[in-house]
Amino acid sequence: MRIYYLILAGSLVVSLNLLCCSFSKSNKKQCGIMPVSNEIYQRDKEQIANCFIDNVEYFRLFHRYDYDAVRDFDSIKSNYNGYYQKYPDAKWDPANFFEPYATRYSLVKDNYVNSPLPIKDQLKVTTDTIFYNKTGLICVAFLVMENKYSKIKGLEDDRDKGREFDARAMIGCRVSKDSLFKIYPLEKHKATGFRNYVEAANILEDLYCNHLNGIGSTGSVYEGLMFKQNVGDKEFFEKSPYFQKYDSVTYNFQMYRHLGKDFRFNYRYCK
């Protein structure tokens, strides 16, 4: 099947013959005995998709776009700091992972504003595939987002027709198979602006299952580290730099680097 897609990092349009994951090298993780039952697998898919929606909704409700441009005046700064003491997790999305889906562009204000409608009514999120480690406590999930934003007077249309589908990857981590995953963004690849679900899902899958290996990105906690495994490879969860310990209690995938300093992602746990 021939698919045309855009790799955002290099703005390079590529065409290739692409087989579905179930027939590719990534099938290594899907063959044999799964570490969870099909019932748990389906539950995990729903929980991870809902967690994505919950995080976007949190930014929609509590991020203050009117504070973003003006922080110099003492009164504004005082209000800004006081507000985000109440909602610290909504202050900033360091991976720019959830927050873009929480906004609409105001033609009146000539700036981004909080979307006026609940995210669940505007964005359909589906967990396409989950790859688990041997214990079932860590996973990589591929999600597909269908943009269904309504036309609203005064707001710019969010996405041109034929470009409604995105796909993103994330890592999930939990303490037991009965508990919920907390999710962390994977920033290496994303697929944005596709015409249908299958195209978005297939290209994201190809990028992570076949093109993840290489040197870690400069300016990240992976700088200088070598990725020798793709998602789905036999030793991915054991040897990939994502799952190396940053310190005694934290994995690399839980960290991000900003202005030369390292911080822990502080996205919300999902109910």
In a domain, 100, yes or no: yes
Report angle CA 243, 210, 145 to the nearest 5 degrees: 80
Report pLDDT digits (tens) over 31-45: 345 899 999 999 999
In a domain, 82, yes or no: yes
In a domain, 253, yes or no: no
For the whole model, what pTM was predicted? 0.84
Residue type, 32: G
Nearest to 32 by CA among 100, 127, 149, 132: 132
Q: What's the total number of domains in the chain?
A: 1
In a domain, 137, yes or no: yes
Between CA 144 and CA 140 the distance in angstroms is 14
Spacing of C-alpha 38 from chain mean position: 24
Residue type, 232: G
Between CA 100 and CA 67 the distance in angstroms is 16
Q: How many residues does the chain have?
A: 271
Nearest to 207 by CA among 237, 167, 238: 167
The two structure tokens encoding residue 164: 């409604």
What Rg do the C-alpha atoms of the chain give, in angstroms? 19
The per-residue b/e assignment along 76-104, b for 16 or more CB within 10 angstroms, e otherwise, is eeeebeeebeeeeebbebbbebbbebbbb
For the chain, 271 residues long, give each residue's pLDDT as a single digit of tens: 333 333 333 322 222 223 333 333 333 344 345 899 999 999 999 999 999 999 999 999 999 887 765 555 566 667 777 888 888 889 889 999 999 999 998 998 888 899 999 999 999 999 999 999 999 999 999 999 999 888 888 888 766 677 899 999 999 999 999 999 999 999 999 999 999 999 999 999 999 999 999 999 889 999 999 999 999 999 999 999 999 999 999 999 999 999 999 999 988 767 7
In a domain, 235, yes or no: no
Residue type, 90: A
The per-residue pLDDT for 67 is 73
In a domain, 231, yes or no: no
Residues spanned by the domain of 209: 2-213
In a domain, 227, yes or no: no
